[in-house]
Amino acid sequence: MDTPATYLQWGFIQISVPNLLMILGMVALFVGAIVLPFPRHKPAPAPPPEPIDAPEAEPTSNWTARLSRAMNRRWPWHTLLPDRQPAFVASWIYLFGVGAIASLIWIVGSGVILVIFGPVWWHVSSAGRFVNSIHFWSVQAFFVCTIVHLVGKYFMASWRHGRALTWITGVVIFAFGALTAFTGYLAQQNFDSQWIAAEGKDAVNSIGAGSFLNTLDYSQMYGIHVLLLPGAVVSLVAVHILLVRLKGVARPIDQPRPEEAGTTAGKAAAEEASR
């Protein structure tokens, strides 16, 4: 794997075989996810009665009690952790979001070990190299899952019915993920880091960021990579998941909300719902 890759060229397009395999893999995963049948799930039992909100207690000046009541009202557990989903969720394409989260767990776990042992460890120890390899491949898995998730959500128009903020946080996570990876490549302490720092500085400088973000300053890039950007990504993922859970997944495009009466699609949806 350390020997130079084979590169393919068509006109101005030049791509390494490993990169081509990654792209073809993403395409295959996307096609497979939307074509392959999904195992059927048990129908949900009759829904439990809606939790009855406790009668509003007397107004209190206790901030903790007020916060607790507000959280119970806005983020009830049966909404955050439901044990049922709409039947249309039965598609592989819905799994790439959780795949990205799982990859992120592996990234953070391996990253924490790399931080504990220090930036030189993985260059001089086989155990360190293995942990770094886990970090490297889980980053690849994260982006594969994220890109397939993003493309899938686009073709499902998942921002409908008040879910635009969920989409926006997803795109911002992708952007912050790319920045985190960029600083990670700068923090590797090898030839790759040197070249990316030297070559990448021009783009960073061109937008004025070079005056306070120096790609050649190892400790600055390392600190940003292991603390600030992962903190931002994890926080954004938490907000993204919260939004998904609070809003639920969007209805199929061909099944608009029944209250969208008056439209042909709305009537069809109402008929479908009444069968």
Report 13-52 residues binding another protein (CB under 8 A).
13-19, 21-23, 34-35, 38-47, 50
40 vs 61, beta carbon nearer another protein: 40
Q: Which residues between 52 and 111 bind another protein (CB under 8 A)?
A: 76, 78-79, 81-91, 93, 95, 98-99, 101-103, 105-106
Residues with Cβ < 8 Å from 233, sequence gap 6 or more? 104, 173, 176, 177, 180
Site for another protein, residues 142 to 201, rule: CB under 8 A: 143, 145, 147, 152, 154-157, 159-161, 163-164, 167-168, 171-172, 174-175, 177-178, 181-182, 185, 188-195, 197-200
Asked if 183 and 216 count as a contact pair (C-beta separation under 8 A), the reply is no
Q: Name the minimum Å distance from CB 122 to another protein.
A: 8
Residue nearer to another protein on the CB measure, 42 or 61: 42
Nearest one of 91, 246, 250 to 157, comparing CA atoms: 250
Element at 154 (helix H, strand E): helix 126-155
Q: How far is the CB of 63 from another protein (least distance, A)?
A: 27
Select 60 or 235, whichever has its Cβ closest to another protein. Answer: 235
Closest separation between CB of residue 89 and another protein, Å?
7
| CB 252, min distance to another protein, A | 4
Tokens 């084979």, residue?
Answer: 6
Spell 110-135 as b/e; 16+ CB within 10 A means b. bbebbeeeebebbeeeeebeebbebb
Of 72, 120, 254, 261, the one binding another protein by CB under 8 A: 254
Q: Pick between residue 37 and residue 59 the one whose CB is nearest to another protein.
A: 37
Identify whether the C-beta of residue 38 lies closer than 8 Å to the C-beta of residue 92.
yes
Whether residue 193 contacts residue 122, with contact meaning beta carbons closer than 8 Å, is answered with no
Is there a contact between 25 and 144 (Cβ–Cβ < 8 Å)? yes
Q: Does residue number 272 form part of the binding site for another protein (CB under 8 A)? A: yes
Residue 193 Cα to chain centre, angstroms: 25
Taking CB under 8 A as the criterion, the residue among 69, 115, 117, 218 binding another protein is 218
Asked whether the beta carbons of 106 and 141 are under 8 A apart, the reply is yes
Closer by beta carbon to another protein, 18 or else 62: 18
CB nearer to another protein: give 156 or 233.
Answer: 156
